[in-house]
Amino acid sequence: MDVGILAFGGYVPRSRLQRAEIGKTHAWYNPGLKGLARGERAIANWDEDAITMAVEAARDCLTGQDRSAVSAVFMASTSFPFDDRQNAGVVADALNLKSGLMTLDLAASQRAGSSGLTVALQAANGSESPILFAASERRQTKAASPQELTYGDGAAALLVGTGDIVARFIGAHSETVDFVDHFRRAGNAFDYAWEERWLRDEGYLKIVPAAIEAVLAKTGIAAAEITTFCFPAAMKRVAGQLAKMTGLNDSAVADNLQAVCGETGAAHPVVMLVHALETAAPGDRILVTGFGQGCDALIFEATEAIKSLPERAGISGHLARRRADTNYARFLTVNGLVNVEEGIRAEVDKHTGLSTHYRNRDMAQRMVGGCCRECGTLQFPKSNICVNPNCGAVGTQDDHAFADKTARLNSFTADRLTYSPDPPAYYGMIQFEEGGRLMADFTDIDPDQELEVGMAMKLMFRVKDYDRNRGFRRYFWKAAPDTDAAAGGQLAEAAE
């Protein structure tokens, strides 16, 4: 059976920092940055990282899919929150997948996304159980650096395997060359980059064509038959040059999303692939490349099944859910690039008892509550006694997942006394529409947004807090305004 992509999904944070704000701030120091100060870049919230974004992309990918069939979770990133804790394992836990599966982290190169996808496809070949592959990136940048303007945060996910595939995997080729255009040694927060001309002339224009020509020869596909060419680099016009050098049509060159998102590092080949699949027609052939100490080149062909894939947000949907951000000082602060006075309320030891963390993982990471077998009442957290006053049965609670349930806002508070990295701290009570309540922290609240009782809310996997003394971070589910539900309600009202 053919192996390929069964489903796809994406995630881009809502906040988009306007590059003009970065340019204005640093023009006195580096006037050359003005040339890059156009468009906007996606920036993660203070409680987002590579893990949380991978979870959201994977949730989008698994829309309409049987999660119990997933046999493995592979994750690629160069900005993993943990060096010695399996990040893919946290993703699998947050998705409430079975424990009997393989998890694998892939890192250490901007090619981790494309190479990881190749490995996932090879592992899934001939297997009846699909593999979930996610690539996610939140890289730190120095203030006033070109990377601060060109990088972006985001994630994408693919479910690969055999069966009713939406895109057939045609073939791949890898060129491995220890060409160092930038690097980050262990313990450093920021990349050290060499000049762009060197990267373009000796890297992109010499290494990438070799990979493209090899995969075309290996698969027997003519360059003119490629419908979409995904080259994940921020540099202008290079993709067009590569197309000309290798015989690809100019019309095949895909938008690199630099103007609206930024380059999402190891995740960007997968981000661009997902973006291409969203509008692909059966028969379209997509060539995607990944560059970093060599080049990977993979070719996919869309099938008839792509027309029947359940609707999802994908990259396009998340790009549309944007909020223009002009607060550059906030960006610097939440990324730890300036030292701000946090006040004495921030001086709390966030020590996490690992035994307690493990015992509560079903509630905290999987968002599993209870459902009473006697009366059907849902409750979170799960307890030994049913909360229904007309029931009160003991020992009748079955596991019940809440993460994907819709909810409504019951009450809320904006607290400027409690410490928050992004004040005020929003929290309140949400009511799940099928039953159950949760007192939750809120996230992704727009500064100009007015919360209203009864508004639609959804749960998102986020960082709960940081243990700065020991380097540990705890995750939990937070409530955010469900803009999709709100938009759907407005459309329904307009139709009436």
Q: Report helix, strand or coil for 163.
A: coil
d(CA 457, CA 482): 5
Contacts of 398 (CB under 8 A, 6+ apart): 370, 371, 372, 373
What is the pLDDT at residue 493? 46
Q: Are 175 and 169 in contact (CB under 8 A)?
A: no
Q: How many CB atoms lie within 10 A of CB 113?
A: 35
Q: Is omega for the bond preceding 424 within 30 degrees of 0, making it cis? A: yes
Domains of the chain, with CATH numbers? Answer: 3-334 (3.40.47.10), 344-367+402-495 (2.40.50.840)
* pLDDT for the residue 495: 39
Against a cut of 0.75, is the pTM above it? yes
296 vs 317: CA distance, rounded Å: 27
**pLDDT given for residue 485 in this prediction:** 59
- Can you say whether the dihedral through the CA atoms of 267, 105, 333, 184 is positive or negative? negative
- Is the separation of the CB atoms in 132 and 159 below 8 Å? yes
Which positions of the chain have pLDDT values less than 50?
487-496
Query: Any idea of the CA torsion for 234, 238, 239, 245, to the nearest 10 degrees?
Result: -160
Containing 490, the helix (H) or strand (E) segment is helix 483-495
Report H helices in 32-135: 50-61, 87-94, 112-124
**pLDDT given at position 181:** 94
